[in-house]
Each structure stands twice: as C-alpha cells, then as structure tokens.
Structure 1
Amino acid sequence: MTVLSTERLTLTPVAAGDMDDLTALWADADFTRHIMGRGLSEEEVWFRLLRDVGHWQVKGYGNWSIRETATGAYVGSVGVLDYRRDMTPPFDAPELGWGVAPAFQGRSMAREALQAALAWTDKHRAEPRTVCMISPDNAASIRLAERVGYRPYGHADYKGSVVTLFERVKGGPTEAVGGAADRTGGAG
C-alpha cells in the first residue's frame, strides 16, 4: 500500500472504509459545482469508489484519501489517474486530480496533498509530464495548479463543458512541503 504523509496530512489509497466520507463530500453541491455541477447519489459515489479501488489494482496508482493526521478528519482526495477520458485532445500523460471539502479549503491542505502526490509521481512514474483539467470558472484550482508548476496548453469539451488543460513537466517547480515523506509499499 502506498501511503504518503506530510506535516499535517496522511494520504492513503481510497478504500471501502472511506464510503461514508466520500458520500458526504460528493453530495455537497458547493464541492461539486466546478466538477459535476451537482451533488452525487450514494450509488454514483459507490461506483466512483469501486473505480478508485480498481485503479490501484490495475495501474498501481490512483486516488488517495486525504486525512488530517492529528484528528483523522477526512479532508478530500488527490490522485494520479488514467481515466481514459473521452475528449479532444485526449490526455497523453498521467492526470492529476484533487478536491478538498469546503470546510478545509483556504488552509493550504490541497496544496500540501498535491505536492506530496507530485513528488511521488516524479519519483515513481517514468512519464515526462503530468496533466490536469480544470473548469475555467474554478479560479482557486487554477491558482493552485499554477502554483505547483502547471501551465495551460489548451482547451477541451468534456461532457458538454469546456475545460482548460494544464501540463507540468516532471520535476517542475513546486513549493517545498516541510516534513513530506513517502512510505511506499506494493506496486508503484
């Protein structure tokens, strides 16, 4: 199991035990407004959880659940993904994705978790770059992506919405996260 830790956070691969936290997060319309545009049902969240667990099994990487180390509180998720999205242009590199519950936004936790995931990706993946897609209306995620080294390279229509495509060169600039550690076991 690939577990990452930072000064304040512990990142563990998404597991069945995360279902209640995931259901609460994905039902929150404030959280999903830039991602899906609506909250998700328990059934839809269950399918996402199964996809995430399977992603780790098949690819050896995937979404991590982010928790505060001190309290165990569920913060959100960050991941290295291969979702084979149906869009033009298609992604040709690992995708990074992240989301933090509204209660934890504005506390630099998304940045801290994303930096840990990028450090892991730079160390364990051979691809020369990573990509991500962000709604043009999601200014906070765009600022975060740019802060950790992502730069826009195009636009795509994804499921009827325009998204901005970003790329980051492997080993690109990120701000240092004090105390970041990688406790990796298993595939990856």
Structure 2
Amino acid sequence: MPGRLVRTPRLTLVPPGKENLPDLIRLKGDPRVFELMLHGVRSPERTREELEDDIEFWEVRGYGTWCVFETETGEFLGIAGLMERPDGRGVAMRFALWPECRGKGYAREAARAGLEFGHRAGLARIIAVAWEENHASRQVLGDIGMAECDAFDHKGRRMILFESLRRG
C-alpha cells in the first residue's frame, strides 16, 4: 500500500487488514484500553464490523486508522489514526495502545505521525476528544501541537475538544 504505510523512528503504522482481526479483538475487548473510548469495550463481532468499516474508510478517504507495530520486534502495540466522529464534530485523531506502552512515548509518536499524515492528505482541521480526567491523553494531544478549543458533556463526563489546523 504505497503512501499509506507510515514509519517513525520506532514504529510502523499499517492500515488494518483482515489479518489484524485477532489483535484488534484482544485490544478492543480489553477494558484497560477501550473502557473510556467512544462506545466502550467492543465484542468480537463489533470489532469485525469496525475492521470492515476501517478498510472501506481507507479506500474511500485515503486515510484512516492504522495498526501500530514496534518496528524492531514487530509487536502489535495498538491503533492510532483518523476517523470521522459519529457526532458530526469532524475528523478526529484517536489512539489506543496497550497499557504496557504507557510512559514510553509510543502514543505521542503514533499520534504525531497520524496528525502529520492527515494534514498532508489535505485535512485543514483535525480534532481530538479526551475525557477531562484522562491527563495522559490530554498531555499527548498537547505535546503533538493540538490546542484545546472547546468542551462538552458526554454521559456525565466532561470532554475536552482539541484541534490542529493545517498551516499554509
């Protein structure tokens, strides 16, 4: 997939394919990873449907969510990338990596790569949403240059909206 594969100093980001389903079922079914994500923990069937949607999204839009791998070991670390928010707020940066990845800068590295890819693909504005109490995600979003621009309540939680505007 020329132009869709992204490499950073430590990571390889690959658009998802059917071969990634077992890893995605483990990731999206783990409450340590997906409990706070929009729509929460996924069933295997829901994960399969989302994978089909993610593959189609790439075909239609030319960007989307990647599976994130540690380049040296090939280990599956999680997902990162861009998705259309179902609430109509726009195209959003998202990332969800195994808890064992915390504190190593992988989420920051993957999110920055996804954000840069999105702007190169022509997206003038990319947003992200983080629960107010999720300080780690908010820190990552700030570190990659996204700015807080709004807030809203969702299911009793205060959500912070971030944005990145393409320069030039």
Higher relative contact order (CA 8 A, sep 6+): 1
Aligned length: 166
1:139 aligned residue (135, 139, 163):
135
Give the AA of the match of 1:109. Answer: Y
Q: Secondary structure at the match of 1:47?
A: helix
Shift of 1:12: 0.6
What is the CA distance between 1:15 and its match in structure 2? Answer: 1.0
1:74 equivalent to 2:41? Answer no
Contact persistence 2:80–2:114 (CA under 8 A):
yes
Whether the 8 Å contact between 1:15 and 1:53 is mirrored in structure 2 is yes
* TM-score normalised by L of structure 1: 0.80
State the secondary structure of the residue aligned to 2:103: coil
State the alpha-carbon separation in 1 of the partners of residues 127 and 11 from structure 2.
23
Distance, in Å, in 1 between the alignment partners of 2:123 and 2:164 is: 14
Indicate conservation of the 8 Å contact 1:15/1:49, yes or no: yes
> 2:94 is matched by which residue type in structure 1?
G
SS in structure 1 at match of 2:33:
helix
Cα distance in 2 between the residues matched to 1:10 and 1:113:
9
Alpha-carbon offset, residue 37 of structure 1? 7.6
Q: In 1, distance between residues paired with 2:106 and 2:154?
A: 27
Structure 1 match to 2:115? 118
User: Cα distance, 1:94 vs. partner?
Assistant: 2.6
Q: Say yes or no: does 1:106 pair with 2:108.
A: no
The equivalent of 1:28 in structure 2 is: 30
Quote how far apart the aligned CAs of 1:161 are.
Answer: 4.5
Structure 1: how far apart are the matches of 2:49 and 2:156? 21
Q: Distance in 1 between matches of 2:131 and 2:16?
A: 24
Q: Distance in 2 between matches of 1:61 and 1:36?
A: 20
Q: 1:122 to 1:24 in 2, by over 3 A?
A: same
Contact 1:34 1:137 (8 Å CA) reproduced:
no
Whether the 8 Å contact between 2:62 and 2:121 is mirrored in structure 1 is: no
Note the C-alpha offset of 1:146: 0.7
TM-score, length of structure 2 as denominator length: 0.89
